[in-house]
Chains A and B, each alone.
Chain A
Amino acid sequence: MSKLKSKSLLFKLYGLMPLIILFISVLNEFDFNYLNLKYFSFNFPFILIFFFTLKDFKHFDYLLVFIAGLINDTVVGLPLGISSLSYILICIATSYIRNITIRPNPIKDWFYFLFIICLISSINYSILSLFFSYNLELNSFLINIFFTFIFYIAFVSIFKYYIKSLND
């Protein structure tokens, strides 16, 4: 009986894995600072949120995504609410694409993802420079978008494998 209970608890934890990873990533920022790679950064939470909200993953609560955004802002040092807005905009975009798509196509999703991260980065850049007078380097934004776009496909294959294992 206790074995069954612990098994179900483990399964529950396994189901919550994307959310746990999301919170670890926003608290940890997944930086590659110590590797001394000069032009390398990507936004892992964007990939994670886009994929799992697109798949309408049952444990992916929007409120928790919103809180993850607040934590990210605190860790990175951005004005509170910027990342939350970005994450919620991703959720809105994925919700819209889910409504209009009949037959999902990974390549279409990939380019739609590029469009969304470009839009969100533009909004972020505009808010930070216009309302908060931040000096920002456009190059770092472009590099971040590029690598986030490139890594999307790699992470999607891992996430698909995860969903498959969960369904099995």
Chain B
Amino acid sequence: MAESRDDFIIAIRSAFLKKSTKQKFSLLTLALFSVLIISLSSFDFKIIRYLKIGINEFVYRSSFIVSIPENFIKNSFFEVKSYTSFFKDYKKNKDELESLKSNYISNEIIQFENIELKELINDYVSSSDKILAKIIVDHDSPYLKSIIINKGSKDNIRIGTPIYDQSYLVGRVIEVNYKTSRVLLLSDLNSNVPATIAPQNIQAIITGSGDYYGEIKYTKEKIDHEFSDKSIIYTSGTGAIFKSGIPIGKLKTKENVTNKNFVEFFSDFSQLKYVFAEIETRSPVINLDKELNEINFSNLDTTLETKLNILEDEIKIIDESNLKFKEENEKLKGELNFLKSNISRMKNKIFIQKKKIDQFDVDKDEIIFLKLNLEHGHKCRKSFLNNKGFEINTPEYRNCVISKEINNE
């Protein structure tokens, strides 16, 4: 018994401490070193942070280079796949574009109204720029759903910067290096986004599921029946994590799963190639009351000027929308005239056809009469032997022929 324990201890000691001639470090040293790194990485030391940024920069670039063959295969696969549904997509996109164009103008008006209202409540006005970023690494890990983009602190990216695919929310930045950043996708288990479900106007938190869909959590109880598949989810702006009104996805109720609502994201995270990072700069709005107290006319002028500019812009947009409506009106008028002429043409056609039908009826009656005339004419015709008969082509003669047929029947 003691001997086997000794053997075990010897084997363990040998495994930990013995190093062959080629090995520079024993396994125990390396294991302890790993534990040390794990402990240090949990603390936010400046030196470790810089070291990590350095390693990240190097590794992300290397990973991008190493992934080139894999990405090539992946892209080819998707390109072939997209060619098969090319025409269908084109038609769908065309329809969508038409509807989006009409929505665009009304959106612009709302945006200007929003700015004006924010100024009225003395909030800050955030001006944001979207910069294009390329995804350099997008490996699907069972632990973390994230992507790495080629923009970092050099391009004013900060932790929490929202990332978009067109205008759809994709995620937010969780790690910033000098020229690269890691973006936590909305589908990750650790992602939580305060959102509003429209049109029901229900506040909720959207969390990732670790798969390509999200889950709705923390809503008021017993309101599930209010949801429908047409519900749209967008950021509520609560907690100042994201701006309000950024589209996230559509609500999806799964038939087999009860009491659970899922979010189908507008963006397909597996297909991302380029994304937009929104860099925000906040400028405080001039306080009107203060300005009035100081009777600073020059500043007042600038405020009024700004307001006037906004109003001018608004007028410009309204003019544009009016113009668009006028154009639409003209188009509809043209269509109406065309339809009217079509109707009159159709009416003429119907009149001619009716006439033809009447004539046909007359001819039909005449044929029937002639047929009867052949049969009974000799009985109704006035002749030497038949004094009671009638003259041919008189109405009496005609009646006589018809009555003879009726009598026979």
* Chain B: interface residue total (CB-CB under 8 A): 55
Q: A27-B62, A33-B270, A99-B14 are in contact. Are A38 and B142 (CB under 8 A)?
A: no
Shortest C-beta distance, B336 to chain A (Å), equals: 50
Shortest C-beta distance, A168 to chain B (Å), equals: 22
- Beyond A77-B182, A92-B15, A140-B142, 5 additional pairs, beta carbon < 8 A: A31-B140, A61-B22, A88-B34, A92-B27, A96-B14
User: In the bound complex, what is the Cα–Cα distance between A131 and B60 (angstroms)?
Assistant: 25
Q: Which residue of B lies closest to A57 (CB)?
A: B22
The segment from B35-43, B88-96, B236-244 found at the interface with A is B35-43
| Closest 8 A/B residue pairs (Cβ) | A81-B37, A33-B140, A85-B34, A81-B38, A95-B15, A140-B142, A135-B189, A96-B15
Q: Which residue of A lies closest to B147 (CB)?
A: A77
A62–B63 touching, CB < 8 Å? no
A62–B59 touching, CB < 8 Å? no
B14–A95 touching, CB < 8 Å? yes
B66–A95 touching, CB < 8 Å? no
User: In the bound complex, what is the Cα–Cα distance between A28 and B19 (angstroms)?
Assistant: 30
The segment from B70-78, B283-291, B315-323, B398-406 found at the interface with A is B70-78
Binary CB contact string for chain B from 135 to 165 against chain A (1 if under 8 A, 0 otherwise): 0011111111010000000000000000000
Listed in ascending order, the chain B residues whose CB lies under 8 Å from chain A are 7, 10-12, 14-16, 18-20, 22-25, 27, 30-31, 33-38, 41-42, 52, 55-56, 59-60, 62-63, 66-67, 70, 73-74, 77-78, 137-144, 146, 175, 182, 189-190, 210-211, 270
Shortest C-beta distance, B8 to chain A (Å), equals: 8
Which A residues between 58 and 93 are near B, CB-CB below 8 angstroms?
Answer: 58-59, 61-63, 66, 69-71, 74-82, 84-85, 88-89, 91-93
B30–A63 touching, CB < 8 Å? yes
Shortest C-beta distance, B40 to chain A (Å), equals: 8
Which of chain B's residues have a CB closer than 8 A to the CB of A99?
10-11, 14-15
Which of chain B's residues have a CB closer than 8 A to the CB of A66?
25, 30, 33-34
User: In the bound complex, what is the Cα–Cα distance between A62 and B73 (angstroms)?
Assistant: 33
Shortest C-beta distance, A17 to chain B (Å), equals: 15
Which of chain B's residues have a CB closer than 8 A to the CB of A28?
63, 66-67, 70, 139
